[in-house]
Amino acid sequence: MREAFVAVLTELAPSHPEMMLLTGDLGFGVLNDFAARFPRQLVNVGVAEQNMTGLAAGLALEGRTVFTYSIGNFPTLRCLEQIRNDICYHKANVKVVSVGGGMSYGPVGMSHHATEDLAILRSLAGIEVYAPTDLWEAAEATRHLIESRGPAYLRLDKSAAPLTEHAGERFEPGRIRVVREGSDVTLVATGGIAGEAIKAADALAGQGIFCRVLSVCTVKPLDIETLARAATETGGIVSIEEHTVEGGLGGAIAESLMEAGIAPEFFVRVGLRNTFSSVVGTQRYLRGVYQMDAAAIMKVVVKKLGAKAEVPA
């Protein structure tokens, strides 16, 4: 996804001279072309994320549109207070970008796994949170962020779901996209792991279970209408995120539906449960270990729908 992100920045940099990209000494190979073509719009600030975030706030208060760029938790948790006080409180036009959402950096280890960022970032006032599921969403979200004003967080995954856009579709920030129609259950996913949801849905369709699959690029503000419709029309909701189940997408859905007075027939959060990703392996392998791959999602659906079928009418 980072290539899609950088491609859009590169495309729009000439027409947006106010746009700047700050990197915390990461992006080797990916940012070289951008750096060579737009040296006045890129600053490698060094391995210093707190300073990067404060700098970004200062630049933004002077009228710049600033992207801060690093991996995992470095541009988020490491400098959370700067994001809270310097960016969000001042409504500074800074877009925090993390490459490597969830367990993208697989065998590198838990230090590089961003598995609490959605929960923590979305709790900040005035920030929008984006976690694209496929390359189209990654590019379109980036395009949107260059034009939009105010704080935002963009979580980019190494993996991406297969392209899900419909012909001629326009990206609508804040809108959840229906990428598979279905009426038996709804799978709601954010980030590249949406690919596992789609895989599960396709396999379950072969067994006569039709899943609606929702792609949540905008985690905040959350599109409650589409979720409410899904809960009412399909009964069950399964949230899927490469993230702790506490406070992330699943938490956000639960909060919103409960407050709207809508109770799905069942609700399951697929994600990390009070554990760090300590096992060594690729992103794909870890999704299996931590029960969030297509097979695990299928198991959840079959168990829940099976249990429902067993209830006497």
Q: Name the one range near other proteins by CB under 8 A: 7-15, 52-60, 131-139, 241-249.
A: 52-60
**Binder among 48, 77, 228, 254 for other proteins (CB under 8 A):** 48
For residues 49 and 24, the answer to whether their CB atoms sit within 8 Å is: yes
Site for other proteins in 13-42 (CB under 8 A): 40
Residues 160-189 that bind other proteins (CB under 8 A): none
Task: Please state, in angstroms and rounded to a whole number, the distance separating the CA atoms of residues 182 and 170.
Answer: 22
**Nearest distance in Å: CB 48, other proteins:** 4
Instruction: Work out whether 63 is an interface residue with other proteins (CB under 8 A).
Output: yes
Give how many residues touch other proteins by CB under 8 A: 25
CA atoms within 13 A on the CB side of 268: 19
125 in contact with other proteins (CB under 8 A): no
Among 23, 70, 82, 98, binds other proteins (CB under 8 A): 82
For position 103 contacting other proteins by CB under 8 A, the verdict is no
- Do β-strands 185-189 and 211-215 pair in parallel, antiparallel, or remain unpaired? parallel
The only residue of 7, 30, 35, 43 in contact with other proteins, by rule CB under 8 A: 43
Query: Nearest to residue 242, comparing CAs of 111, 104, 143, 142?
Result: 104
User: Can you tell me whether residue 220 is helix, strand or coil?
Assistant: strand
Nearest distance in Å: CB 53, other proteins: 7
Residues 301, 185 contacting (CB under 8 angstroms):
yes
- Round to whole Å and give the CA distance between 276 and 15: 43
Q: With CB under 8 A as the contact rule, which of the stretches 77-85, 126-134, 218-226, 285-293 interacts with other proteins?
A: 77-85
- E strands, the chain, are 19-23, 42-44, 65-71, 94-99, 128-130, 152-156, 177-180, 185-189, 211-215, 218-220, 236-244, 266-272
Give the binding site for other proteins (CB under 8 A): 40, 43, 45-46, 48, 50-51, 53-64, 81-82, 85-86, 89-90
